[in-house]
Structure 1
Amino acid sequence: MPAVPEQHTSAPVSWRPLVAACLGTFLLMIYTTIVTVALPNVGADLGGGFTGLQWIVDVFTVALAGLLLGMGSLSDNLGRKRVYLTGLVAFGLATLVCGLADSVAVLIAARAGQGIAGAAMFATILPLVGLTYHGHARAKAFAIWGTVAGVAGAVGTVAGGVLAELLGWRWIFFASLPIWAVALILGATTLTESVRTGNRIDVPGIAAFTLSATALTYAVIDGGDHGWTAPGAVIALVVAVVCVVVFVVVQRRSRTPMVPLKLFGTPAFIGVLVVAFGYYFASFGALPVLSLWLQGTAGLSPLDTSLVLTVQIVVFFLVSALISKRLHGLAPSIALGGATVLIGLGCATATVVLADPSWVALLPALVITGIGAGMVSPVFPAVAIAAVPPAYGGTAGAAANSSRQLGLALGIALCGTIYRGQGQQTTSGIVAAMVFCASLAVLSGLVAGALLRRPHKPASKVSSGQDVT
């Protein structure tokens, strides 16, 4: 195996395992956004109303967010490489079914399959990278991984528009299968298996967390569709609250909890979770409604829409790639909290569309949110892992990614609800959604900045997993 052993020598570092991890990450993350621009084409071909189209996007992120932590626990028991490769195989099969779907219902079900399989991949990729690289090589690997994860989600938006217009929406699924085959072969031959813990899997905790995330997202979508007092929305909210309570009780009583509650005594860990949720919600949660607005109100084609949204991608990539080393040298309160506030300010500039309802008016928002997201993405994985004792590094990484995906899921749901709530006033809907994103991002950044500035005991000085404060 080409993995780098834990030693302090100048032995050459093999980057093939990182390439394998980044390919899997890229494949996974493009499907958080690749359907966005193609939604009108999917609706025209398969039918289905706004809610059905929204679920095509959201069911993937809900399954991904809800199962991330559980898959992390499962991988500790069965081996991270084994769980990752199993998830990768299932992801490819679900992607094929997506491309062959003959109804919105089948497509939603297949997207759920993608999300479940993706959770197995996403929960294990970052720990596998951490297992392989050490010291400066690990910091560099995390930075590269974070950049790929962020860029891939944005690239999906462009790829979706291009493929939908030139080849048809089904090719947003078929076109990735060659990448999937390469990722599978490379992952199987280069990644190193982790040591199995043998701990009992926290099935009640996994079930409670997944149900709470799913119920909350359903409540937001159903409430926007039928009103917040509608039986479906009310029942879903009650289920979400009950499941959260059950989750906390289960974690307190379990000998092998999915997320040890002691971790929440670390301010920096909470700060990372707040940033992960807020920056992904604000940066990417409104993309589906922005796509609908650009094609419906501004009159752009899917290809033109994807090119407009490419502005955010280019800026994101340049920031992540060119200054990631300097970002790691900044205080986390600035690199994470400050950048999230910047994202909020960027979202606020979208109010310009009230005076000029054209694609040009969205450019400042895309540029500024691209800068902010490009600052956060390469930094937060390493900060999350460093905020807790080494024994909990995998859990911290999975929790941060889970918070990020939950932010995206709820961002899509809430922005869709706000946008749709304006009826025919679609430009007002875009402004309302972006103002909400702006408020959430600024609040998240300020809270996270305060938490990340609070002194806490570094992970390296904690001798036992029992002491995390």
Structure 2
Amino acid sequence: MRKWWPLAVVCAGSFLFLLDTTVVTVALPRIGADLTAPVGQLQWVPNVYTLVLAVLMLAVGSLADRWGLRRVFLAGLAVFGVASLACGFSPDIGVLIAARGVQAVGGAALAVTGFALLAACYEGRARGTAISVFFAVNGLGAAAGPVVGGVLTEYLGWAAIFFVNVPLALLTGVFAARALPPDTPVRRGRFDVAGAVWFAVFAASLVHGLTLDRWALAVSVLGFAGFVVVERRRAEPMLDLRLFRAGGFSTLIACAAASTLTFAALVYVSLWLGRSLSPVAAGLAMAPLAVASFLTSTLLGKVLHRFPPRVLLGAGVLLGALGCLVLPVAGIPIGLAVTGIGVGIAGPATGAAVASAAPPGRAGMAAGILTTTRQFGQTLGVAVLGIAYQAGGLTPVYVIAALCGGVTGLLALVPRKQARVPA
């Protein structure tokens, strides 16, 4: 049983991080009323969390390779717990927004190191099982957010959605200190400060441009150009660009982005349900997605090692696309169930492929690339599909998500040379 303790604590940490990406959405009206906050300020309660995550994930992955995965994971739990306490006690909207930003610092550490720890702790069939359970819990955490947020806000008040994190983070930290193996960081050299700064400029301006101000997109282009120039000149870069010369790894990242586009489409399904249902009822209506994803990911772990990654990736992304097409025809429960099966296949398959591509010492970097891609994919998806939703309702949202997923899924099925991160 001790064999699976690292999996348990990593899943607990990831569940906390992902729960707080969605748990706050249904509480925003109550927060605005209690703190007398206008909509312009209120939208920063979820947006600052997304922004900080996008900025820090890649840098945290690089730091973890140098400082140690266990150390960064425990530090992330501590920051997340303290910031959650500050969120619950916030006297005004400004303090709440600042505390949410700090909370995301801890969340970035949990997001990146969790996946890398599993890759380091398990091998072979055990790794496949661990990664499958990990992604199953991830899907459950993201899907459970609206339900948990609705129940806590309705019966205990909005502060409860933050206070509940404190004992959970503390308990997870106690078990993690005993269950996780000692750190063995193998990357040397100075941290890539210049790369981190340029990436922060790129990520922050891109997220800001996609969600609030389109003029910031021009700054993101300059930030990305500066980041690429700096990384190409570094002996120990934060992101080894040679990795993307191999078509296999690029396809992995494209599939990760496509799978998050499916989740972005479900944001608007949730909004549509919220027009006629209470927060709790709307959250429960999304349950088929969580159940199908959880069961599929859990069962897949037993056979994950038997199939080529491209087959599982292609099948998972194509099923996610099919679910989007089925939604308006067969109804939301069936459509969400099909989508959940696709997500349950694509998530573990992508994770296992990325883990196998990363040699010792680059697990943090590989995890940072994967989590950053998923974060940007969902942010971009929400922005693009939001335009479609406002123009024509749910139908164009379904069509765009299905087309992107279908093309990416077919692309994943094409045989390519297996990629591996340069040592």
Cα distance in 1 for partners of 2:335, 2:289 equals 9
SS at the partner of 1:157? helix
Match of 2:399 in 1: 435
Residue 28 (structure 1) aligned with residue 17 (structure 2): yes
Match of 2:85 in 1: 96
Cα distance in 1 for partners of 2:92, 2:232 equals 43
Residue 347 (structure 1) aligned with residue 356 (structure 2): no
Q: Which moved more, 1:388-397 or 1:148-157?
A: 388-397
Residue 456 (structure 1) aligned with residue 418 (structure 2): yes
1:370 equivalent among 326, 335, 340: 340
Cα distance in 1 for partners of 2:386, 2:94 equals 19
Change beyond 3 A, Cα 1:169–1:290: farther
Instruction: Report Cα offsets for 1:65-101 as digits up to 9, x if no partner.
Output: 3211101111222222222211211111111222233
| Identity over aligned pairs, percent | 38
Match of 1:221 in 2: 211
List runs of 5+ in structure 1 lacking aligned partners: 1-11, 223-231, 353-359, 423-427
Cα distance in 2 for partners of 1:414, 1:108 equals 25
Change beyond 3 A, Cα 1:309–1:318: same
Residue 291 (structure 1) aligned with residue 270 (structure 2): yes
Change beyond 3 A, Cα 1:247–1:114: same
Offset at residue 183 of structure 1 (A): 0.7
Cα distance in 2 for partners of 1:412, 1:54 equals 14
Considering only aligned residues, what root-mean-square deviation do their CA atoms show, in Å? 2.5
Offset at residue 44 of structure 1 (A): 4.3
Residue 263 (structure 1) aligned with residue 243 (structure 2): yes
Instruction: Report Cα offsets for 1:122-179 as digits up to 9, x if no partner.
Output: 2222222233333433332222222222222222232122222232222221222221
1:38 equivalent among 15, 18, 27: 27
2:375 equivalent among 402, 405, 413: 405
Match of 1:445 in 2: 409
Offset at residue 389 of structure 1 (A): 4.0
The two structures have a TM-score, normalised by structure 1, of 0.83
Change beyond 3 A, Cα 1:41–1:429: farther
Change beyond 3 A, Cα 1:431–1:173: farther
Instruction: Report Cα offsets for 1:313-346 as digits up to 9, x if no partner.
Output: 1111121122332344232222112211221222
2:313 equivalent among 336, 339, 363: 336
SS at the partner of 2:26? coil
Change beyond 3 A, Cα 1:330–1:136: closer
Offset at residue 304 of structure 1 (A): 0.6
SS at the partner of 1:172? helix
Instruction: Report Cα offsets for 1:242-301 as digits up to 9, x if no partner.
Output: 01111111110011101111111222211111111110122x2244433332222xx211
SS at the partner of 1:255? coil
2:97 equivalent among 78, 90, 108: 108
Aligned residues of 2:61 and 2:367 also touching (Cα < 8 A): no
Q: Which moved more, 1:86-95 or 1:321-330?
A: 321-330
1:75 equivalent among 59, 64, 73: 64
Pairwise mapping of residues 170-185 of structure 1 onto structure 2 (< 5 A)?
A: 170-185=159-174
Match of 2:258 in 1: 278
Change beyond 3 A, Cα 1:254–1:263: same
Q: Which moved more, 1:86-95 or 1:59-68?
A: 59-68
1:162 is matched by which residue type in structure 2?
A: V
Offset at residue 103 of structure 1 (A): 4.0
SS at the partner of 1:313? helix
Instruction: Report Cα offsets for 1:411-449 as digits up to 9, x if no partner.
Output: 333344444x44xxxxx4333333332233223323333
Aligned residues of 1:22 and 1:145 also touching (Cα < 8 A): yes
The two structures have a TM-score, normalised by structure 2, of 0.91
Match of 1:63 in 2: 52
Q: Which moved more, 1:435-444 or 1:118-127?
A: 435-444
Pairwise mapping of residues 115-264 of structure 1 onto structure 2 (< 5 A)?
A: 115-196=104-185, 197-222=187-212, 232-234=213-215, 236-264=216-244
Change beyond 3 A, Cα 1:20–1:82: same
Aligned length: 422
Aligned residues of 1:80 and 1:128 also touching (Cα < 8 A): yes
Aligned residues of 2:206 and 2:220 also touching (Cα < 8 A): yes
Change beyond 3 A, Cα 1:142–1:16: same
Offset at residue 361 of structure 1 (A): 3.8
Residue 395 (structure 1) aligned with residue 385 (structure 2): no
SS at the partner of 1:159? helix
Aligned residues of 2:41 and 2:93 also touching (Cα < 8 A): yes
Aligned residues of 1:61 and 1:406 also touching (Cα < 8 A): no
Cα distance in 1 for partners of 2:227, 2:293 equals 36
Cα distance in 1 for partners of 2:343, 2:16 equals 20
1:293 is matched by which residue type in structure 2?
A: W
Change beyond 3 A, Cα 1:79–1:318: closer
2:322 is matched by which residue type in structure 1?
A: L
Change beyond 3 A, Cα 1:116–1:416: farther
Instruction: Report Cα offsets for 1:34-54 as digits up to 9, x if no partner.
Output: 223334444444455666554
